[in-house]
């Protein structure tokens, strides 16, 4: 597997305590800004056909799916509340010169 850091967005594009849905090489990715810190996960809910970027951030660190209100931990992608049981893929993120990069792993 090869790993590469890919530019996804500008830091200022992601609102504080909110999300930005985007796409990298055909993969829908959701970016989050919590307390100034950037996190990235897949944007598609593992339970159904919903975009997590349309959901709400709850309890400071969870994303609530807009469709059935299941939740995931934004920092780890772990399923946190039913009906979500399958974890989300999460991506390491870093910010350099006002630009957000995430690490994609290609099989
Ligand atoms: Fe996300 Fe059902 S589609 S909780």
Find residue 21's DSSP bridge partners.
30
pLDDT tens digit string along 72-103? 999 999 999 999 999 999 999 999 999 999 99
Residue entry with tokens 């059935």:
68
Pairwise CA distance, residues 46 & 38, whole Å: 21
The pTM of the full predicted model, rounded to 2 decimals, is 0.94
Three-state SS at 52: helix
Question: What residues does ligand 1 touch, defined as CB less than 6 Å away?
Answer: 45, 47-48, 50, 65, 67-68, 70, 83-84
Q: Return the pLDDT at 1.
A: 66
Cα of 61 to ligand 1 centre, how many Å? 18
36, 45, 73, 75, 86 from 80: Cα distances, Å: 22, 12, 6, 11, 10
pLDDT in tens, the chain (107 residues): 677 899 999 999 999 999 999 999 889 999 999 999 999 999 999 999 999 999 999 999 999 999 999 999 999 999 999 999 999 999 999 999 999 999 987 65
């Amino acid at each position: 597997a090869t790993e590469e850091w890919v530019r996804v967005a500008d830091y200022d594009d992601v609102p504080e305590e909110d999300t930005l849905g985007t796409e990298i090489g055909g993969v829908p990715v959701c970016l989050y800004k919590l307390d100034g810190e950037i996190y990235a996960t897949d944007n598609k809910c593992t339970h159904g056909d919903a975009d997590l970027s349309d959901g709400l951030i709850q309890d400071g660190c969870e994303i609530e799916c807009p469709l059935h209100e299941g939740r995931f931990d934004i920092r780890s992608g772990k399923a946190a509340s039913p009906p979500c049981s399958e974890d989300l893929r999460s991506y390491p993120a870093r910010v350099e010169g006002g630009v957000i990069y995430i690490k994609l792993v290609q099989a």
